[in-house]
Structure 1
Amino acid sequence: MPRIAQNVLVSILALSVALTSAPLVAAPPAKPPVAKKDEKKKTLAERLPPDAKKHFESAILLYEDQNWEGALTEFKVTYDMSKEPRVLRNVAICEKNLKRYADAIGTLTRALGEGVDFEPELQQQIKDEIDILTPLTSVVTIEVTEPDAEVSVDGRTLGKSPLAGTFRVNVGERTFTAKKPGFIDAVAKVNVAGSSTVPVKLSMEPTVKLGQASIVVAGVPSKVKAKVSIDGVEVGEAPYTANLPAGKHTFEVSAPGYVSKKVTKDIEYKGMVAVDVKLEKEKHEGYLAIETGVPEATIKLDDKIVGSGKFSGTVPSGGHRVSIAADGYKPYETDVTVLDNQTRTVSIPLEKTSKTWLWLTGGGVLVAGAAVGGYFLFKPKDEQPIAGTISPGVVTVPLFR
C-alpha cells in the first residue's frame, strides 16, 4: 500500500478513536457539589439541560450498539434542544461512520464556528479531523437553468436554485437532481474526484414544451376592440401575447363591423411567432349574374336599366326587382335575393308572343269580301258606277286605333 494511503487510513482510524472518546460517555450521577465547579471542566453531559440529556444518553446507547442512524438522530435532537456546539462533534462522528464525509466536514466546521469557548486543544483536534476527512471529498458548483428548483445530491436536499458558492460532496459517482413543478426532473450523474472544483449543470425542460405567439391587428382604429381567439377559445383583446404548446395553432381576430379573419401558424419550442392580422370592413353585398339568351332584351334592376341580353356585377345584399323586355317576347319580372358575399346566377328564358298580326290581316280580307258581296246584291240596277282612284285588286283594311 502506498505510504500516503497508509497515512490517510491511519489518520481515519485515529479519527474514529479520537471522535469516540470521552465526550460520548455520559458522566456518572453527580454528587451535590461542595464548591462551584469550573465550567470548563464540566463533562458534555453536565453541560446539557435535563430534557436534552435524556436524548444524549439514548444517543450513547445507540452509538455503542453501532446504530449510526439512530445515534445521529438523537445527537441532532440533543443539539437542537441545547444548542451546545460540543454535541456537533458527536454528530460528525456518526456522519463519518455513515460515510457521509462531506457532511461530517460541514458539521465539524460549524462546531468550530460556534465553539468560541472551545479549549485550544479541542479546536486543534477538530481542525485535524477536518484535514483527515478532506481528501475523501471534493468541491462542486451547481448551475440550474430554472430558478426556484429544489436541488439535491444523492437524494439529500441542498436548497433551491440559484445556488451560490460551492458544495462539498463525497468523491465517487454522485447523482445531482433538480425538481420543479411543470418541469421534467433534471438528473446528472457525475464522477467526482480530485481536489479541483467540479462544475455540474442541470438543464431543465418543461413538461409541456412552449413557444410564444404575438398577435397584432391592423386596419382597425384604436378605439375599436379586436377580440383574439386561439384554437376556438377567446383569450383577450389585441395586441395579445400567448405562451402555447409547440405545434400548429389557429388564431382568429374579430371586431364589430369588420370581417373576422383566421390565421394558422406553427409554433416551435422556445420560438417566437408574429401573427399579423389585417381586418377589412364588412361589405353587405353580393354578386348577381342575369342571363336571358336574347341579346336585345333590356334588363332593369330595381327599375334601372343595367344591360342588354345579360348582366353581371356587384349588388347590395337583400331583395331586388328584375324586369326584362324585348320586342317579340312577353315581358318578364321576378324578385331576386342576394346574400352577403353570395354569387348568384339567374337564367331567364323569355317567351315569344303569338302571331296576332296574321289573324288580323286574314279577318280583314274576309270582312271586306262580305261587304262587297252585299253591296252588289242590294244595289239598284240602274245605279251608275263610281270611278275610284285605287288600282283594282288592292284592298285596304282599316286598323283598330
Structure 2
Amino acid sequence: MFRRSLWLKKNRNTMGYIASCLKQLGQYDDALDQYEEMRREFPRLPAKIEATVAAEMAELSGLMGTLAVTGDAPAGALLFVDDRLRGKLPVEKPLRVSVGSRAVRVEKEGFAPLSMTVEVKAGKESVAELVATSRKGRLVVSEKHNWVLHVELDGKEVGVTPWQGLVDVGEHKVRLHGFMGVEALAACEAPGAVAEEGAKVASTVEAAPVRLYEETRVVLGAEERDASLRVESTPVGATVSIDARVVGKAPWEGRLPLGEHVIEVSAGGYFSAKQTVRLERRKQRELSVSLERQPDLVAEAPAATNWKIPVGLAYGVGVVGLGVFVVTGGLALDKVNELHVRCPNKLCPSTEAGNQRAAAALGTAATVGLVVVGLGTATGTALVLLMGPESGERRAGLSVSAGVGLGGFEVRGRF
C-alpha cells in the first residue's frame, strides 16, 4: 500500500514508513536504499527528521556488508541472494547485503545453476567465487539452406540439423553430410527429414570455439559432392592441395563439389605440378602426377665454396713465411754488416763468436721462411687448379707436383 501511494505521489513520510517496514522485515539493504532515495528527493529535511534518518542509516550500515560475485559467473545470468533476485551479472558494484550466512545462486537459461554459501561480515566485502563443476557451453549448428543433414562433431555423429547441445569448453570440429534428392537439390528446397539416398552433399570442416556458459552458433553451407577424385604421385607421399588448401598426402582420394578444381602436388626436392580438373556428377576422376626432380643445387653449392678454405690456408701459410723471411732476413743482414766492420779481412776475434752464431741462426730462419713462402704459394696454386671453378674441365689432363730442395723449391705441371 505504501509503495502504491509513493507511486502516485512522492512523500517523505511515506518513504520513511517504507524504510521502517523494510528494516523490520530484515531487508536492511532495501531499507538503506529507501533512506538514501528519501534524502535525494528531499535534501532539506527538518532537523528532527534528518536526525532520525541519520541514526537509522548508521544502524543499518552496521548490520550490512557487501558482496562481490566472481569466478565462473556467466554474463547475463540472474543473481539470487537468499532466493531474492538481485539483478543480472555482471553487477556494476558490490551488493549491500545483511550480515550472516547468505545463499548465493546464479542461473542462466539452458545451463545448470551455480550456487554457494557466503558468510557476510559487517562493514566488509565478501566474495562469492563460483566454480562450475560441469564446464560446458552450448553449440548450435544449422545449414544455411535449411537442409536436414547429419551433424558430425569431432568425428562422431550427434544428430541432424538444426542441432544444439551442451559440449565441453574448447575448440570443436563440425561437419555436415548426407543426401539430397536431385529434384530438391535443383529447386533448392528444404526437406523435412533426412534423405537416405540421392546426391551426396557435405560441408567443409569448421572450427567452433565453445566458451563456458556461452552459446556458439555455427552455420555451414553444404555442397553437392557426388563426384570423387583420386590423386597418385611419383614420388609417393607428395603433398596434395586442392583449391589452395592442403588435403593430405598422395595417394589421396575423396569427394569434392562438382565443377572445376585446381590440384597442386608438391614434394621436397621436386618441382611442383599444378593442374585444373573438372568433376562431373557421379563420376570418378583419377589423376596421376610425376614430379620432376630439381637440380641438386644445395649439394653443389658447398663444393663450389669449400675449395676456397684450403686455398686460403695454403696462401696464408705462404704469407706467414714471407713475414718470417722479411724480418729475420733483415736482422741477419744487419748482423752481417756489423761483423764486416768488426772483423777486417774476415778475421773475427773470439769476442764476436756470439754475433757470428746469431747471424747464422737468423740466416737459417730467413731461409726457412723463404721455403715456407714457396710451399704455401705452390700448394695454393695447385689447389686452385685442382678444386677451383671450372677445374672439372681441366682435371683429366692436369698433373701438378711440388718439391723442395736445398736452397729452393719447384712446381711442375702437365696439361
Superposed pair shares fold, TM > 0.5: no
Shorter-normalised TM range: 0.3 to 0.5
- By percentage of residues, which structure has more helix? 2
* TM-score normalised by structure 2 residue count: 0.37
| Larger of the two Rg values belongs to structure | 1
* TM-score normalised by structure 1 residue count: 0.39
